[in-house]
């Protein structure tokens, strides 16, 4: 439930190109969940899902305070109705109207979107009022709800995900970003999009509606894009990183004149994300002290590369998601960070790689061999390809056996990387391992 909205039904109808039937009254809340109750008069967007029809929940929404229904189905209702062709698109159009004068920073990319978003928010908060995407609600619905939640803040930092061509273009259209950021462009979602060329095309859709600045990878393919009248900043070109030092659970470095920046991460690729956040801080006139304070306040989200003490050894928990690039970078990072420890990795499937799945899982296994990873443990449909690349390793066949068996394999001399795509549910393994007493 998004509260604090203040529109007449007729104003909403105009914004979403809908047909208004019924009384014109004030609406003070928006919901897409019929179970949410509001004391204020609310508008229920009856979104259709893959397994449900939003119109089936209209009576429940009315009982819970809805005074306006937005639907694409013909219905009989006791409250005002706005008919539209597509409810999700209508939600986006209302979000486009609602964002007002708040500056929008939109972030997309194959990897690093959430970390970059959190860094940018943390830095900007040292001087401005800021809101942004909650967790990973970065699709058509999540982005619209983020924009609708704006309450006249100075900035809204929006993370934009995609699974098909055209999705980022729509999100860019409703957000109209002042700043558009592409963190990188790799192989994530290649199964859905078919090729690296299509992934690049999908990511760069963001730039169509950017109004002021674009922050882009320092690569020729981005430099060859048509000049669209916005100022371009290439990552690691305008601003330079120097004096990188690894700490126990963080990285310290300088950017330009800003000395001893420290971030809550052991991943070298997060320096790239920090460069983006630094660039945005500079664009909006933050000084060195404000930028350093912002980085100090930044904390990585759970399961996105956080260090956890489990009994007598450490786990690097990075099981929120996995692409080939992020898997590769995580293995490089743990090997470089813990030079006085033995390194073990528990790897699960990297999903949405399509016909390249076998190849990329094999390459990760081979990388583990090349880096002399001490122990490889694997689980999932592509486990055998990790093992072929590594020329060894232990494959677990049963998910439930992993925590207890893995705990007996490791002692205090090890650090364990746990990484897989989110739907593999490796976070459950970590939670169970924390409950096991290990006296080794």
pLDDT digits (tens, 9 = 90+) for 378-423: 999 999 999 999 999 999 999 999 999 998 999 999 999 999 999 9
pLDDT over 70 for what percent of the chain? 99
* Domain range 306-435, its CATH number among 3.90.190.20, 3.40.50.920, 1.10.357.10, 3.40.1390.10: 3.90.190.20
Mean pLDDT of the chain: 94
Q: How far apart are CA 189 and CA 339, in angstroms?
A: 33
Residue ranges per structural domain of the chain:
2-90, 99-297, 306-435
- Position 227 scores a pLDDT of 65
pLDDT for 440 equals 47
Residues whose CB falls within 8 Å of the CB of residue 85, separated by 6 or more in sequence, listed in order: 17, 72
CATH entry, 2-90, from 3.40.1390.10, 3.40.50.2020, 3.40.50.720, 3.90.950.10: 3.40.1390.10
Burial per residue of 26-64, b for 16 or more beta-carbon CB atoms within 10 angstroms, e otherwise: ebbbbbbebebebeebbbbbbbbeeeeebbebbeebbeb
Identify the weakest region by mean pLDDT among 176-185, 308-317, 389-398: 308-317
Distance, CA of 333 to CA of 272 (rounded, Å): 14
- CATH code of the region 99-297: 3.40.1190.10
**Bridge partners of 68?**
43, 80
**Rounded to an integer, what distance in angstroms lies between the CA atom of residue 130 and that of residue 334?**
33
For 83-114, what is each residue's pLDDT tens digit?
A: 999 999 999 999 999 999 999 999 999 889 99
31 pLDDT above the threshold of 60 = yes
User: Residue 163 has what pLDDT?
Assistant: 82
pLDDT at 346 over 70: yes
pLDDT higher than threshold 60 for residue 439:
no
Rounded CA Rg of the chain: 24
């Amino acid at each position: 439930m998004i509260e604090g909205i203040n529109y007449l039904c007729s104003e909403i109808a105009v914004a979403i190109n809908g047909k208004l039937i019924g009384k014109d009254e004030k609406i003070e809340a928006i919901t897409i969940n019929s179970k949410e109750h509001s004391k204020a008069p609310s508008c229920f967007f009856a979104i259709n899902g893959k397994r449900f029809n939003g119109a089936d929940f209209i009576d429940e929404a009315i009982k819970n305070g809805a005074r306006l229904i937005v639907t694409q189905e013909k219905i009989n209702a006791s409250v005002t109705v706005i008919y539209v062709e597509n409810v999700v698109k209508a939600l986006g159009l209302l979000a486009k109207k609602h964002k007002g004068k708040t500056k929008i920073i939109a972030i997309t990319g194959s990897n690093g979107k959430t970390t970059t978003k959190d860094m940018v928010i943390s830095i900007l908060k040292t001087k401005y009022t800021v809101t942004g995407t909650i967790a990973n609600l970065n699709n058509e619905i999540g982005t619209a709800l983020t924009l609708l939640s704006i309450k006249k803040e100075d900035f809204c930092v929006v993370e934009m995900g995609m699974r098909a061509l055209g999705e980022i273009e729509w999100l860019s259209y409703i957000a109209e970003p002042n700043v558009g950021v592409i963190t990188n462009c790799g192989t994530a979602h290649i199964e859905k999009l078919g090729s690296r060329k299509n992934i690049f095309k999908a990511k760069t859709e963001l730039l169509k509606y950017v109004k002021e600045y674009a922050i882009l990878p320092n690569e020729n393919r981005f430099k060859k894009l048509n000049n669209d009248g916005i100022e371009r900043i290439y990552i690691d070109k305008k601003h330079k990183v120097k004096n990188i030092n690894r700490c126990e659970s963080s990285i310290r470095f300088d950017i330009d004149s800003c000395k001893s920046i420290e971030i809550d991460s052991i991943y070298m690729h997060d320096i790239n994300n920090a460069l983006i956040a630094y660039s945005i801080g500079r664009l909006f006139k933050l000084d060195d002290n404000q930028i350093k304070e912002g980085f100090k306040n930044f904390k990585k989200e759970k399961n996105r590369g956080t260090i956890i003490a489990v009994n007598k050894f450490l786990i690097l928990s990075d099981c929120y998601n996995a692409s080939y690039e992020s898997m590769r970078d995580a293995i490089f990072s743990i090997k470089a960070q813990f030079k006085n420890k033995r390194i073990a990795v528990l790897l699960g499937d990297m999903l949405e790689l399509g016909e390249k799945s076998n190849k990329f899982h094999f390459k990760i296994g081979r990388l583990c061999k090349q880096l002399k990873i001490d122990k490889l443990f694997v689980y999932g449909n592509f486990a055998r390809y990790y093992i072929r690349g590594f020329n060894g390793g232990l494959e677990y066949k049963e998910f439930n056996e992993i925590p207890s068996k893995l705990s007996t394999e490791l002692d205090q001399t090890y650090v364990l990387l746990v990484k897989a795509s989110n739907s593999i549910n490796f976070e459950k393994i970590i939670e169970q391992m924390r409950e096991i007493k290990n006296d080794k």
